[in-house]
């Protein structure tokens, strides 16, 4: 069987390669031979995730034609890539991209570091903010008042408290998506929701299409469930979803599920437009793929003039293609551990059974607290505080980076909690390693890729502002100088850098 999971056409690859030529060459760079330049271009595309790992490349003759170079040049470039471990070939199956076995992939198990262990270290690993007080305290007090009738029950609600299910359903209905309580399951965070979905749909060997890059912990959860990840490269900038690519992958790989974060995508901050949403749902339906839309970031628009598109499930009136996941973690507080799923009632019943052996249910008191927030309007006020914090932090971080690291490139997202930064040709893994020396925890790009892509990136969250943001950027610049000067660390990126 062929080892590739998607295919890259000659015209498409030529377009990507030509777009690289706009990038400035480093100082004193000499022009390499044509085959070397081509091999380097393809290698960079793989490392940046713009060409997925395990993507079949066009035949030599086709690529030569598309690039107007000789076939010998392409053959020599492919040969160089094979020698370096970036390409595998088999007679009859073609050639597909890979990453070398020794590529410095960051450790995959991500261990949370408790805040009290940080000391003077600035932690840019977690895209989570402190609770928007006084709303956490008020919500817990409200929950305590509601608790007595529940204290007389067994307390096991595997699908969630009926009151909270009804409230979440009503909130979808108010967004224009008619929803019944039977279509909602309350989960232990969005992670709990995706875990149950993976149990039900994406067991061992199943293909799962994911944006590349995507949220690190979900990728890891899926890997551990035994799924085969099929990366679909995000387009440059904040436009995000290249629909030709999605249609091709869904058609060619026919994955069991596709996982997307259409609202302020983690890590890029991209926001899908109505058309992209409609096309994603249509392509998934045609391929028989379940489209999982993660709305964890949905309420975090940071600029007032952002027009929020219709929810992805709004383009699936039959309700048979899209499963929606939501969470209180980013809009309110990650310590709450409340998430939910919206799906067809029969899917919810199966998901309830699928989650039963993991955690049986979600804590009642926290469910009551979120229900209190939703029913009193406290939620809206709390989310306003959250948006103001995140906006202020985003603007401080962007300013500090432009001052301290003017060569680094990024697009400023209109919402979400993360900035996806191209590090001016420096290795993100080495930056993370040197960051540890200067008191900064920063996750490298490859944590957000499938199989080693995005070495030239880091992800920075909107979690620090003012003088701390300035200091964080100064430490990043210090780490960059250590990398440029070739200081060796030895240990690699700490597996303890927690990514959320
Ligand atoms: C896109 C996305 N989905 C899910 C999660 C995890 O959410 P929860 O804390 O609700 O489990 C995160 C956290 O960073 C996220 O960014």
- The answer to whether residue 326 is domain-embedded is yes
CA distance 229 to 345: 27
Among residues 411, 408, 415, the alpha carbon closest in space to that of 393 is found at 415
Quote the pLDDT of residue 191.
96
331 lines ligand 1 (CB under 6 A): no
Domain harbouring 331, CATH code: 3.40.640.10
Of 347, 375, 403, which residue sits at a domain end?
375
Window from 169-173, 246-250, 487-491 with minimum mean pLDDT: 487-491
106 lines ligand 1 (CB under 6 A): no
Which atom of ligand 1 lies closest to the CA of 328?
10
| Residue 305 CB coordination number (10 Å) | 6
Half-sphere exposure of 329 (CA within 13 A, CB side): 25
Is residue 416 a contact partner of residue 93, using CB atoms and an 8 Å limit? Answer: no
Statement to judge: residues 320 and 187 lie in one domain:
yes
Statement to judge: residues 68 and 172 lie in one domain:
no
Of 375, 401, 428, which residue sits at a domain end?
375
- 128 alpha carbon to ligand 1 midpoint, in Å? 9
Which atom of ligand 1 lies closest to the CA of 265?
1
pTM for this predicted structure: 0.83
- The answer to whether residue 498 is domain-embedded is no
Q: Can you tell me the mean pLDDT for 5-21?
A: 82
- 332 alpha carbon to ligand 1 midpoint, in Å? 12
Q: What separation in angstroms does the CA of 89 have from each of 55, 81, 156, 230, 324?
A: 11, 11, 54, 19, 39
Statement to judge: residues 185 and 252 lie in one domain:
yes
216 lines ligand 1 (CB under 6 A): no
The total of structural domains in the chain comes to 3
Quote the pLDDT of residue 111.
47
Residues 179-202: tens digit of each pLDDT: 999 999 999 999 999 999 999 998
Put residue 119 in one of left, alpha, beta given phi > 0 → left and psi -120 to 50 → alpha.
Answer: left
Statement to judge: residues 367 and 421 lie in one domain:
no
- The answer to whether residue 45 is domain-embedded is yes
Residues 140-151: tens digit of each pLDDT: 999 999 999 999
334 lines ligand 1 (CB under 6 A): yes
| pLDDT surpasses 90 at 235 | no
196 lines ligand 1 (CB under 6 A): no
- 169 alpha carbon to ligand 1 midpoint, in Å? 20
Statement to judge: residues 256 and 338 lie in one domain:
yes
Domain harbouring 471, CATH code: 3.90.1150.10
- 199 alpha carbon to ligand 1 midpoint, in Å? 18
Of 334, 349, 375, which residue sits at a domain end?
375
Statement to judge: residues 418 and 353 lie in one domain:
no
- The answer to whether residue 104 is domain-embedded is no
Quote the pLDDT of residue 18.
84
- The answer to whether residue 106 is domain-embedded is no
pLDDT-based confidence at 41, cuts 50/70/90? confident
Q: Checking DSSP bridges between strand 338-342 and strand 94-97, what pairing results, if any?
A: unpaired
- 339 alpha carbon to ligand 1 midpoint, in Å? 9
- The answer to whether residue 284 is domain-embedded is yes
pLDDT more than 70, % of the chain: 90
249, two tokens? 């992958």
Q: Can you tell me the mean pLDDT for 97-112?
A: 53
Window from 65-69, 202-206, 347-351 with minimum mean pLDDT: 202-206
Domain harbouring 87, CATH code: 1.10.10.10
Q: Which domain holds residue 293?
A: 135-375
Statement to judge: residues 337 and 405 lie in one domain:
no
Please give the backbone phi and psi of residue 185, each rounded to the nearest 5 degrees, phi first. -125, 130
Residues 241-259: tens digit of each pLDDT: 999 999 999 998 899 999 9
- 276 alpha carbon to ligand 1 midpoint, in Å? 22
| pLDDT surpasses 80 at 341 | yes
| pLDDT surpasses 80 at 487 | no
Statement to judge: residues 353 and 315 lie in one domain:
yes
335, two tokens? 């310590």
Window from 21-30, 156-165, 279-288, 484-493 with minimum mean pLDDT: 21-30
- The answer to whether residue 184 is domain-embedded is yes
Quote the pLDDT of residue 84.
85
Statement to judge: residues 301 and 155 lie in one domain:
yes
Statement to judge: residues 153 and 91 lie in one domain:
no
329 lines ligand 1 (CB under 6 A): yes
Residue with tokens 């899917």: 347
Residue nearest to atom 14 of ligand 1 (CA): 500
- 10 alpha carbon to ligand 1 midpoint, in Å? 36
Q: What separation in angstroms does the CA of 76 have from each of 67, 73, 90, 96, 253?
A: 14, 5, 16, 15, 29
Is residue 211 a contact partner of residue 261, using CB atoms and an 8 Å limit? Answer: yes
- 404 alpha carbon to ligand 1 midpoint, in Å? 30
Residue nearest to atom 12 of ligand 1 (CA): 500
HEC states along 352-390?
A: HHHHHHHHCCCCHHHHHHHHHHHHHCHHHHHHHHHHHHH
Pocket probe mutation, ligand 1, options 295, 300, 325, 327, max atoms within 8 Å of Cβ:
327
Statement to judge: residues 301 and 407 lie in one domain:
no
149, two tokens? 């009738």
Quote the pLDDT of residue 494.
55
Quote the pLDDT of residue 30.
62
- The answer to whether residue 221 is domain-embedded is yes
Statement to judge: residues 268 and 164 lie in one domain:
yes
Q: Is 487 helix (H, G, I), strand (E, B) or coil?
A: coil
What are the beta bridge partners of residue 96? 56, 88
Pocket probe mutation, ligand 1, options 217, 222, 262, 463, max atoms within 8 Å of Cβ:
217
């Amino acid at each position: 069987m062929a080892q590739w999971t998607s295919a890259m056409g000659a015209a498409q690859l030529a377009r990507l390669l030509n777009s690289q030529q706009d990038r400035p060459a480093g100082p004193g760079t000499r022009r390499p031979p044509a085959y070397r330049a081509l091999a380097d271009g393809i290698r960079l595309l793989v490392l940046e995730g713009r060409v997925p790992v395990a993507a079949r490349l066009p035949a030599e003759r086709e690529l030569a034609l598309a690039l107007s170079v000789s076939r010998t040049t392409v053959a020599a470039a492919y040969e160089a890539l094979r020698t370096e471990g970036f390409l595998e070939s088999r007679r009859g199956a073609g050639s597909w991209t890979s990453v070398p076995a020794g590529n410095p992939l960051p450790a995959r198990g991500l261990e949370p570091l408790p805040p009290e262990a940080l000391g003077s270290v600035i932690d840019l690993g977690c895209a989570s903010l402190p609770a928007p007080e006084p709303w956490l305290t008020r919500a817990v007090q409200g929950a305590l008042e509601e608790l007595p009738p529940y204290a007389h029950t067994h307390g096991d609600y595997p699908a969630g408290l009926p009151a909270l299910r009804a409230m979440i359903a009503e909130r979808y209905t108010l967004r224009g998506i008619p929803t019944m309580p039977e279509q909602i399951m309350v989960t232990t965070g969005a992670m709990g929701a995706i875990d149950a979905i993976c149990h039900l749909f994406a067991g061992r060997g199943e293909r799962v299409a994911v944006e590349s890059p995507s949220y690190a912990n979900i990728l890891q959860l899926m890997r551990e469930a035994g799924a085969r990840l099929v990366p679909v490269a995000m387009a440059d900038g904040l436009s995000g979803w290249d629909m030709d690519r999605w249609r091709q992958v869904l058609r060619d790989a026919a994955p069991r599920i596709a996982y997307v974060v259409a609202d302020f995508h983690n890590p890029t901050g991209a926001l899908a437009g109505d058309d992209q949403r409609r096309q994603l749902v249509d392509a998934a339906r045609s391929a028989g793929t379940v489209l999982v839309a993660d709305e964890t970031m949905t309420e975090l628009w940071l600029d007032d003039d952002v027009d929020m598109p219709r929810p992805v499930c709004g383009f699936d009136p039959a309700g048979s293609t899209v499963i929606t996941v939501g969470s209180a973690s980013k809009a309110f507080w990650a310590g709450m551990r409340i998430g939910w799923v919206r799906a067809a009632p029969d899917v919810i019943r199966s998901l309830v059974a699928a989650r039963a052996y993991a955690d049986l249910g979600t804590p009642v008191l926290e469910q009551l607290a979120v229900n209190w927030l939703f029913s009193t309007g406290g939620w809206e006020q709390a989310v306003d505080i959250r948006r103001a914090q995140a906006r202020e932090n985003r603007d401080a971080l962007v300013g500090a980076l432009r001052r301290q690291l003017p060569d680094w490139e990024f697009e400023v997202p209109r919402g979400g909690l993360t900035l996806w930064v191209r590090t001016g040709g420096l290795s993100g893994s080495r930056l993370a390693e040197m960051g540890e020396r200067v008191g900064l925890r920063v996750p490298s790009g490859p944590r957000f890729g499938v199989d080693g892509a995005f070495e030239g990136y880091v992800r920075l969250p909107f979690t620090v502002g003012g003088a701390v943001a300035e200091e964080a950027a100064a430490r990043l610049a210090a780490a960059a100088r250590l990398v440029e000067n070739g200081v060796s660390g030895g240990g690699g990126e700490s597996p303890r850098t927690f990514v959320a």
